[in-house]
Structure 1
Amino acid sequence: MRRVLFAERISDDKNERSDSIESQHDKLSRRALSEGVTVVGSAVDLSVSGDVDPFQRRELGAWLTEENLTKWDELWVSTQDRLSRDDIHFLRFVFWAIENNKSVLVLDDPGFNEQMHSRTGRLLLHAKGLGPAMELDRIKARTKDSHERRRFTARWTGGIPPFGYRPVSRFVDGKTATYLEQDPDMVKVLREMRRQILAGQSFFAVAKYLNEKGEHTARDRARIRRGKPVHRRGAAEGVPERWSETTVKSLLRDPALLGYKKHKGEVLYDSQGQPVQVADSIFTDEEWETLQAAVEARTQTKVRRVNGTSPLYGVVWCGECGSKAVHKGSIHSGVEYRYYVCGAWPKEDRCRGVSIRAEEVEGWVEIYFLDRYGNQPVTERTWVPGTDNTRELEATRKRISRLRHLYVEGEFEDNPKEYKDRMHALRTREAELAAEPVVEGHWSEVPTGQTFQELWAGLDLEGKRKQLIKSGYQVRVGRKTFKVTPEPATVSETLERLSAEGADTEALTEVTEALRKTGHLPRE
């Protein structure tokens, strides 16, 4: 009995004229029924380009391994290009089939299998392989030209849209084209991510939140839109991708969230030196700047707490050597014992190691901190936007250099006016950017109207930990030592600092009233 394997393939490329999978399967099945063969399986490769090596295809490749090689005798395809459009891959498969005594049936080429077994026939097959290969080259060239024409327009040229956006078809200038628009669901997710980062959450905590909520990544959402199952690399189909610290950080720093178009990872700029806008920005300029400042601050900080570890992680430090203390726990006779110990010991000779009961440290924080700092006003960090065009100026000068290089290479021989116009626009923008002063953005502390004593009552241990870190306080513990740094500022120092940071009259008045309320300043 002849054992037959069907090979069916279809590409997502809209320029490729090909039978549907259903049509291919129907033709192969009717032929199999007429010849009375046994069909052992169908290798169905969906959305697989014709230039993919048959041995690398997900479905067909599995049947070509030594493990499955003995399960079939003949490979059937409806047309030759369903096997491959690449002439090298095609010929490699032909010689592999000959070496392994496999027959190949091509429905629209009855003499294909016989030609495999003669020199003249193989020469003809080589010529036949060039046809689909040349057509594939034409498809790629047309696609590339199309992308080049649309690259600097607001149209979406394809691929996975940035998180926060979805592709839509619109009828413009008599043609249907694809554009991007904001996806309300993803925008809501992005705004929550921004809120959490500004509130002091770590990238890990945000990723954990997204995974627990079951929020899909941009790639998985694209799969779902195409009717495909979600898929994590290295896992079975249906298993979604996971968010990580890296993906969260990369997403929140991506200028694509401003609606900018990118090519090979870089923002595209038009002839006027402005970013190509492909969609509406998800964040306002101020929201974006505060987010970038928070992301940068989170990137630079060394205080990253892993859930389930030290309740005062990042707050307690070794008073002997200055290293961060770590939280240790053990259970003896059913009783749990917790300690804060020097994180450097015994790796570092400079410290003999500090080990203090955690309950004592946490109790001291409650008593000592409030006794010494409870009357201090609580402030919130507010981002004051700055102006720094250094990056844009550098990018503009690079574009000037590239444009000059293209001119030297003869790119504008047929249109010198275009070169002059583009160069003039870039030079003008360069002069504007160079003339603008650089003002660094900075954080300013705005009083909340509360003292630490008033705030403390409503916070749990984790809230107190975050507030201490946010306020810049550290607790240093050692043998018979307990010290909170920095020392509390005097009234005059507090007012002077806030004034230097640009606090307005109203803010200074609020601080003054808060200090009067706590008795630090006399009533007028």
Structure 2
Amino acid sequence: MRRVLFAERISDDRNEKSDSIESQHDKLTRRAETEGATVVGTAVDLSVSGDVDPFQRKELGPWLTEENLSKWDELWVSTQDRLSRDDIHFLRFVFWAIEHNKTVLVLDDPGFNEQMHSRTGRLLLHAKGLGPAMELDRIKARTKDSHERRRFTTRWTGGIPPFGYRPVKRYLDGKTATYLEQDPDMVKVLQEMRRQVLAGQSFFGVAKALNESGEHTARDRARLRRGKPVHRRGAAEGVPEQWSETTVKSLLRDPALLGYKKHKGEVLYDSQGQPVQVAEPIFTEEEWEVLQAAVEARIQTKVRRVNGTSPLYGVVWCGQCGSKAIHKSSVHSGVDYRYYTCGAWPKEDRCRGISVRAAEVEEWIEIYFLQRYGQERVTEKVWVPGTDNTRELEATRKRISRLRHLYVEGEFEDNPKEYRDRMHALRARETELAAEPVVEGHWSETDTGQTFLELWGTLDLEGQRKQLIKSGYRIEVGRKTFDVTPAPESWPERKTRMEHLGLSGE
């Protein structure tokens, strides 16, 4: 009995149609029926380039392992390049087949298997392998040239679009090309992410909200557009990717949200030194400046909320060892008992641990805070954008250096005018950027029209926690000790401050 394995492959190298696989299978099946061979398996590799090693292919590779070699005797393909279009990979497979006494049948080359077993035949096979390899090199070169030509245009050259955008086909100048446009649903998500960060939410908190609401990442959205299931690396198909603190932070700092085109992670600039605009920006320049300032402030913030850990995390500290206090609760006989205890104890010997009732701490801090700030006006920070062209100036000078290098290498021998025009534009932009002063952006305090006493009643415990941190409050609790920084005001201090505010101190 002849046990036959079919190897079928289709790639995107030659814009092959999906029915190419069907055509391969029909030819192989008819041949098997004619010769009375038994087909033990079919390895179908879809969208696999011809330069992928047969031993590394997802479907064919497992059939070539030691554990599966005994299951088949002959490997059949419709044409030689279905095995490989890389001459080195092709010859390696040929010698492997000889070593393991396997028959290889190529439908359009009846003498293939016989040639494998003679030196002259193998020489011919080597020559045959060079043809597909050279064609593959030409395809790669054409693809690279095509990408190079389109790189600095407003067209989308492929890949996963930035979050907030989706690819669309447009018919322009007699040709169909792909461009990017804003996706309204993703834009709403980005605006909400910006609002949360400006309100003081952590990157972790934003990620948690995105995961709870079931928002898909850019990668999963791209899969769904192609009709494929979502997939988290290391998990089964259908399990979506999760947002993380890192992905949220990276997304909100990505200049692609301004519609800029990127290559290898860097923004592309045209010959005039301007970013290549591939789509409408998600945020205005002012919105972007404010967001970046809030992101940087969040990155530099030392006291961060650990969700679900402590209602006053970052406010209450251990008065003995200086560690952050953690919140613990338990229920006994239907009564909820809550305490703040030292976060270091008992893991570290430096502290014997403290434990105080949470309700008492929260009540006292509210009294102290409102005593000191209750009649003060609440202000909010507003970002005043600055101007700093240092980064763009540095990028422009690098482009001047690269352009000069290309000129020395003879890139512009046939078109020296293009070199002069591009260099002139870059030099002019360099001069313009160097002349502009650097003005640092800064936060400005503006009155909200409320006092802290009016605001306090509208805040939940998390909002009160954030407000206490903004106001610089720190509570150190110990055994029979309760220290507040800044210290509560004395009566003379309180009276003087209230008179200064135009209020009665009586």
TM-score by length of 2: 0.90
1:213-263 deviation digits (Å, cap 9, x = unpaired): 222222222222222222222222222222221111111111111111111
Partner of 2:494: none
Partner of 1:399: 399
Partner of 1:160: 160
Partner of 1:57: 57
Q: Distance in 2 between matches of 1:14 and 1:247?
A: 36
1:15 Cα offset (Å): 4.8
User: Are the counterparts in 2 of residues 324 and 343 from structure 1 also a CA contact under 8 Å?
Assistant: yes
User: Are the counterparts in 2 of residues 369 and 484 from structure 1 also a CA contact under 8 Å?
Assistant: no
Partner of 1:493: none
C-alpha spacing 1:257/1:66, structure 2 compared with 1 (3 Å):
same
C-alpha spacing 1:54/1:333, structure 2 compared with 1 (3 Å):
farther
Give the one of 491, 497, 502 matched to 1:521.
Answer: 502
C-alpha spacing 1:149/1:297, structure 2 compared with 1 (3 Å):
same
Partner of 1:430: 430
Superposition CA RMSD, Å: 2.7
Partner of 1:214: 214
Q: Secondary structure at the match of 1:68?
A: helix
Partner of 2:175: 175
Q: Distance in 2 between matches of 1:330 and 1:67?
A: 57
Partner of 1:44: 44
User: Are the counterparts in 2 of residues 15 and 139 from structure 1 also a CA contact under 8 Å?
Assistant: no
C-alpha spacing 1:281/1:489, structure 2 compared with 1 (3 Å):
farther
Q: Secondary structure at the match of 1:171?
A: strand
1:299 Cα offset (Å): 1.2
C-alpha spacing 1:8/1:240, structure 2 compared with 1 (3 Å):
farther
Partner of 1:87: 87
Counterpart of 1:91 in structure 2: which amino acid?
L
C-alpha spacing 1:42/1:189, structure 2 compared with 1 (3 Å):
farther
1:396 Cα offset (Å): 1.2
C-alpha spacing 1:214/1:31, structure 2 compared with 1 (3 Å):
farther
Partner of 1:497: none
User: Are the counterparts in 2 of residues 384 and 443 from structure 1 also a CA contact under 8 Å?
Assistant: yes
C-alpha spacing 1:411/1:194, structure 2 compared with 1 (3 Å):
same
Does residue 411 of the first structure (1) align with residue 411 of the second (2)? yes
TM-score by length of 1: 0.87
Partner of 2:462: 462
Identity %: 86
Counterpart of 2:415 in structure 1: which amino acid?
N
Partner of 1:356: 356
C-alpha spacing 1:117/1:332, structure 2 compared with 1 (3 Å):
farther
**How many residues in Structure 1 have an aligned counterpart in Structure 2?**
498
C-alpha spacing 1:138/1:520, structure 2 compared with 1 (3 Å):
same
Counterpart of 1:90 in structure 2: which amino acid?
F
1:499-519 deviation digits (Å, cap 9, x = unpaired): xxxxxxxxxxxxxxxx99x99
Partner of 1:201: 201
User: Are the counterparts in 2 of residues 10 and 19 from structure 1 also a CA contact under 8 Å?
Assistant: no
Does residue 103 of the first structure (1) align with residue 84 of the second (2)? no
User: Are the counterparts in 2 of residues 24 and 78 from structure 1 also a CA contact under 8 Å?
Assistant: yes
Give the stretch that moved more between structures: 263-272 or 113-122.
Answer: 113-122
Partner of 2:493: none
1:287 Cα offset (Å): 1.0
C-alpha spacing 1:189/1:34, structure 2 compared with 1 (3 Å):
farther
Q: Distance in 2 between matches of 1:157 and 1:238?
A: 28
Give the stretch that moved more between structures: 356-365 or 430-439.
Answer: 356-365
1:24-49 deviation digits (Å, cap 9, x = unpaired): 22222222233333322222222211
1:50-70 deviation digits (Å, cap 9, x = unpaired): 111112122222222233332
1:144-199 deviation digits (Å, cap 9, x = unpaired): 01111111111111222111112222222222222111122222221122122112
Does residue 129 of the first structure (1) align with residue 129 of the second (2)? yes
User: Are the counterparts in 1 of residues 318 and 325 from structure 2 also a CA contact under 8 Å?
Assistant: yes
User: Are the counterparts in 1 of residues 164 and 257 from structure 2 also a CA contact under 8 Å?
Assistant: yes
Counterpart of 2:501 in structure 1: which amino acid?
H
Give the stretch that moved more between structures: 249-258 or 18-27.
Answer: 18-27
- Unaligned 5+ segments in structure 1 are 491-514
Alignment map for 1:320-359 (pairs within 5 Å): 320-328=320-328, 338-344=338-344, 353-359=353-359
